Structure 1
Amino acid sequence: MSQAGGAAEQKQAMDAVYAFHRHIYDFTRKFYLFGRDRLIAQLAPPPNGSVLEVGCGTARNLIVAARRWPDARFYGFDISEAMLETARKSVAGAGLGDRITLAQGDAGSFDVETLFGLAQVDRAFMSYTLSMIPPWQEAIERGAACLAPGGSLHIVDFGQYERLPGWARRLHFKSLNDFHVFPRRELPAVLKRVAEAEGLGLDFTPLHRGYAWSAALRRA
């Protein structure tokens, strides 16, 4: 299957999943998507810096980040047009249309210049995105490659429940899989590979006994 064909199928699948769930997404996800606001607090973009969210969904994170860091410019894209419809309404309702720019794009093949006219970005982040997209390794590679000097890529996603009961892992992972969400066991190894290939520093932190994993790739 071609890359374009795979992206089209992914878009169709995500639109189908979120045609209804986008309306209750933010309310329900706040109960188990832990670490998102911790990630936003750590962004600390430079004055007039650019911040990109890969897989922005409803734009909840972009809105929180734009309020937290008022001197930065924010950009987000998602493959699902259904989610972007909700995101555009949310951004407009928050009065942040002049600081948040949205576009439709594929996380596995995105280019910030094509999407937003940017050569590089100062900060990029992926919040519970990698467990939802098939080309998740390519998304990390492209996110790292688009960083400006001094830039950083921040990630939070489901971990592997390393220090939690096995029954809890099985039960939660089953419920996640039903919504096409697959926690990435290989994430630490992939982050290490990308960091070495790009000459980046890597910080990796398990959260809540392995419920979530947090990481940052930093360019000197």
Structure 2
Amino acid sequence: MDGTVEHGALMDRVYRWQRRFGFYDATRKYYLVARDPMLAGLEPPAGGRALEIGCGTGRNLVHAARRYPQVDFHGVDISREMLAAAGSAIARAGLRSRVRLAWADAVTFDPARTFGHDSYDRIFMSYAVSMIPQWRQVITEAARRLAPGGEMHIAEFGDMAGLPPMTKSAMYTWLRWYHVTPRADLFDVAGEVARAIGGTSEDRRLHRGFSWISIIRRT
């Protein structure tokens, strides 16, 4: 089976019933706690474009579109189950005119072909890096799509260095059940990617290392 199709099918199996019974977002709010700080820090320019890679149920796109009403948003995901949920959420929020969705593999995604644009003022990923096997390649390619002055914001699980050892071990075990792998070298990779495009990076550690936010800025 093609790797893209296989990974998409895996994500559909993992989240199909969670999203259909409506408890995906209800439960995730208790531990995907870097999402809202990341969205608050986006601050895209008025009239700009923003892209979410791995948009899931559309929760972040709805929040971001409401927070930044003068910005157009695009979202892609490899799971058709999640895209169905995102489409419904965006329709309920009355945001169809400003938020566009597409099925895509983050590794091979071509925004010019999919959306008619080849650059973005903001690109963001919320707890998607930990679920994408080729995450380094995804970050590298996405950073190349940043417009001058553009930024890429990544919210993720951190190394949890400040948590009690038993809590950290239990959390890592639970994440493995859902095919989630925290990336201990995320900040190092982001720094390398930023330097490759002549930009800078910023590392933010939150909640005793439970959450990380990585920002890549293109000058």
TM class by smaller structure:
over 0.9
For residue 113 of structure 2, what is the aligned residue in structure 1? 114
Q: Distance in 2 between matches of 1:114 and 1:136?
A: 21
Q: Distance in 1 between matches of 2:197 and 2:175?
A: 32
Task: Give the aligned length.
Answer: 217
For residue 200 of structure 1, what is the aligned residue in structure 2? 199
| 1:8, distance to aligned residue in structure 2 (A) | 1.0
Q: Distance in 2 between matches of 1:185 and 1:158?
A: 9
Correspondent of 1:8 among 1, 5, 9: 5
| 1:19, distance to aligned residue in structure 2 (A) | 1.0
For residue 64 of structure 2, what is the aligned residue in structure 1? 65
Contact 1:121 1:151 in 2 (8 A): yes
Q: Distance in 1 between matches of 2:69 and 2:156?
A: 25
| 1:108, distance to aligned residue in structure 2 (A) | 1.6
Q: 1:1-28: per-residue Cα shift (whole Å, max 9, x none)?
A: xxx8111110110011111012311101
1:100 alignment partner AA? V
For residue 144 of structure 2, what is the aligned residue in structure 1? 145
Contact 1:54 1:124 in 2 (8 A): yes
| 1:169, distance to aligned residue in structure 2 (A) | 1.0
Structure 2 residues not aligned, in runs of 5+ = none
SS in 1 for 2:131: coil
For residue 81 of structure 1, what is the aligned residue in structure 2? 80
Q: Distance in 1 between matches of 2:24 and 2:218?
A: 33
Q: 1:78-106: per-residue Cα shift (whole Å, max 9, x none)?
A: 00001001110110011000010000011
Structure 1 residues not aligned, in runs of 5+ = none
For residue 188 of structure 1, what is the aligned residue in structure 2? 187
Contact 1:110 1:142 in 2 (8 A): no
Contact 2:191 2:216 in 1 (8 A): no
| 1:180, distance to aligned residue in structure 2 (A) | 0.6
For residue 134 of structure 1, what is the aligned residue in structure 2? 133
SS in 1 for 2:2: helix
For residue 36 of structure 2, what is the aligned residue in structure 1? 37
Q: 1:187-209: per-residue Cα shift (whole Å, max 9, x none)?
A: 12211211111111100011111
Q: Distance in 2 between matches of 1:107 and 1:177?
A: 21
Q: 1:122-163: per-residue Cα shift (whole Å, max 9, x none)?
A: 000001110111111111111101000010000110001111
1:13 alignment partner AA? L
Q: Distance in 2 between matches of 1:31 and 1:191?
A: 26
For residue 47 of structure 2, what is the aligned residue in structure 1? 48
Tell me the TM-score normalised to structure 2 length. Answer: 0.97
Identical-residue share of aligned pairs (%):
45
Q: Distance in 1 between matches of 2:41 and 2:204?
A: 13
Contact 1:109 1:138 in 2 (8 A): no
RMSD: 1.0
Q: Distance in 2 between matches of 1:57 and 1:8?
A: 17
Q: Distance in 2 between matches of 1:191 and 1:216?
A: 8
Contact 2:191 2:200 in 1 (8 A): no
Contact 1:158 1:183 in 2 (8 A): yes
2:74 alignment partner AA? Y
Tell me the TM-score normalised to structure 1 length. Answer: 0.96
